[in-house]
Chains A and B, each alone.
Chain A
Amino acid sequence: MIETPGIAALFVMLAAVAVAVARQRNLFGVVVLTGTYSFLMATALAALDAADVAMTEAAVGAGISTVLFLGALNLVGSLESKPMERPWIPLVLSLFTGMLLVYGTYGLPAFSDPHAPIHTHVVPRYLQEGLAETGVPNIVTAVLASYRGYDTLGETTVVFTAGIGVITLLRRRRKKKEEGGS
């Protein structure tokens, strides 16, 4: 548990960036800050030994989403207009939900508790037999692609569906001129 102070510092920085995002009116600044948030999150995930997720967060959260946000800003302008009134109800609602979630974490098993329910069901089998059964040393890959192959097929289909959705929504402009199916 040497990393604990480091992870705590990362979480403090995450909170600070989140507050900065909420207060910032310049949307370009918001995009840069959300990129920073993703990089901090990726670092936290790497510190928690979740290298696969950290990689995804750094590439998708900090990289591609930032570019997409910038592309969107290019279309809508980069200054958020001042709100007409101060919206209190959403603030109260989100604070309440946040506190409810924090309260919920007290019901969870302690972090990396080996007796947590999730670690006593199928995990021992994956860890002990995974290498012999699949020949894949990285247990994450073995679970994702083999034991949980149906789930990953579903995930890939979700990504596909999202792509199709964006294509259908943003493509209609092409109707004006024929571009040979591009």
Chain B
Amino acid sequence: MRTDVILRVVAKLLIPFALMFALYVQFHGDFGPGGGFQAGVIVAAAVIFYGVIYGLPAARRAVPDRAVELMVAAGVLLYAGVGVAGILLGGNYLDYFVLASDPVHGQHRGIFWVEAGVAITVSGVMLKVFYLFAGRGRDPEDEA
């Protein structure tokens, strides 16, 4: 597919919109449908799309394996960290009310970071699984 001009051009046009939509789903999840999981999946799908059209090495250059593996763990740590922050600020584990002086604002802050954690882990895992599946059986040419 790397030689098909139409696919390459369409992919290049669509991917920024997909990423933008992911950000919208992430940050507008409080008001409309969506949230961390959906946003993470859309980000992963956009990168996978890039990988399918431009080849796995290109996707790996754009989003390196190391970053993806970091994301897999960082999201869960971020989520769990929000819980620990609740304890440190004098509440219970995952208690968002204490995260800001105003309880409702604290809820907002808690939900924001928790959703960010979900998005990071989900997109990391999806991408890693894609990289591993697509990379199987073609390691030699993978050096790029």
Contacts and interface: CB of A to CB of B under 8 A. Distances in A.
Contacts of B55: none
- Interface size classification for chain A: 35 or more
A135 B105 contact: yes
Interface of A: 51-52, 54-56, 59-60, 63-64, 67-68, 71-72, 74-75, 132-138, 140-142, 144-146, 149-150, 152-153, 155-157, 159-160, 162-164, 166-167, 170-171, 173-174, 181-182
14 contacts: A55-B38, A59-B38, A64-B44, A67-B48, A138-B29, A138-B31, A142-B111, A145-B114, A156-B117, A160-B76, A160-B121, A163-B125, A167-B69, A167-B72
A88 B9 CA distance: 50
Nearest to A182: B65
Given A138-B32, A159-B121, A167-B128, A75 B72 contact: no
B90 interface: no
Interface string B51-91: 01000000000001110010011011001100100000000
B136 A64 contact: no
A64 B107 contact: no
Contacts of B134: 71, 74
B41 to A, nearest CB: 4
A74 B33 CA distance: 35
A72 B41 contact: no
Given A64-B130, A71-B133, A133 B45 contact: no
A153 B45 CA distance: 23
A152 B111 CA distance: 11
Contact of B80 (A68, A134, A138, A153): A153
Contacts of B79: 152-153, 156
